[in-house]
């Protein structure tokens, strides 16, 4: 379990850490801009990070894998936030990027967010969903019929 946790943390740092943390920080540094709206920005960033951590936990515990393409879950994860959205990690990264945009009121960050969101969309539609269909077959097809791709229709707790 310790090695699996290490791999999960490493994948977290390498992927969402890079796309939702390092790259936006480099954009802000390049633009040399100051914080515009700390409270509103953090109101988006903090929940985004918490959602990511929850999903990493679910991938590790329920799926026996990580968010990394080189060590994906062995089991289809349908628990936690995956009951409401098939892609809560992507949604949370966009939420974090939105927080950066609000935090610094940056057009360049907004362009980055649009490009990243488009890349996520294409990756999911043309890469992940066909791969999940091959890997999990009918289980994936039933799950994808019942759970929306991005945002939940409603939350039933």
Question: At a CB cut-off of 8 Å and minimum separation 6, what does 54 contact?
Answer: 80, 81, 88
How far apart CA 129 and CA 145 sit, in angstroms, is 12
Confidence label for 142 from pLDDT (cuts 50, 70 and 90): very high
How far apart CA 41 and CA 39 sit, in angstroms, is 5
pLDDT (average), residues 142-155: 89
Q: Is the pTM of this model over 0.95?
A: no
Q: Is the pLDDT of residue 59 over 80?
A: yes
- Taking only the tens place, the pLDDT of each residue in 78-133 is 999 999 999 999 999 999 999 999 999 999 999 999 999 999 999 999 999 999 99
**Cβ contact 20:94 at 8 Å:** no
Q: Is the pLDDT of residue 34 over 90?
A: no
- Taking only the tens place, the pLDDT of each residue in 46-56 is 999 999 999 99
Alpha-carbon distances, residue 59 vs 12, 84, 96, 114 (angstroms): 11, 15, 20, 26
How many CB atoms sit inside 10 A of residue 33's CB?
Answer: 15
């Amino acid at each position: 379990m310790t090695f699996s946790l290490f791999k999960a943390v490493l994948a977290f740092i390498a992927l969402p850490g890079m796309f939702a943390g390092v790259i936006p920080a480099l954009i802000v540094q390049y633009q040399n801009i100051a914080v515009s709206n700390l409270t509103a920005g953090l109101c988006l960033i903090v929940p985004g990070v918490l959602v990511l951590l929850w999903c990493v936990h679910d991938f590790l515990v329920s799926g026996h894998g990580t968010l990394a393409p080189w060590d994906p879950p062995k089991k289809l994860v349908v628990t936690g936030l995956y009951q409401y959205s098939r892609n809560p990690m992507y949604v949370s990264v966009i939420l974090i990027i939105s927080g950066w945009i609000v935090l610094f009121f940056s057009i360049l960050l907004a362009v980055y967010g649009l490009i990243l969101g488009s890349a996520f969309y294409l990756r999911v539609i043309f890469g992940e969903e066909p791969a999940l269909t091959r890997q999990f077959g009918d289980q994936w097809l039933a799950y994808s019929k019942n759970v929306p791709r991005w945002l939940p229709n409603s939350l039933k707790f």
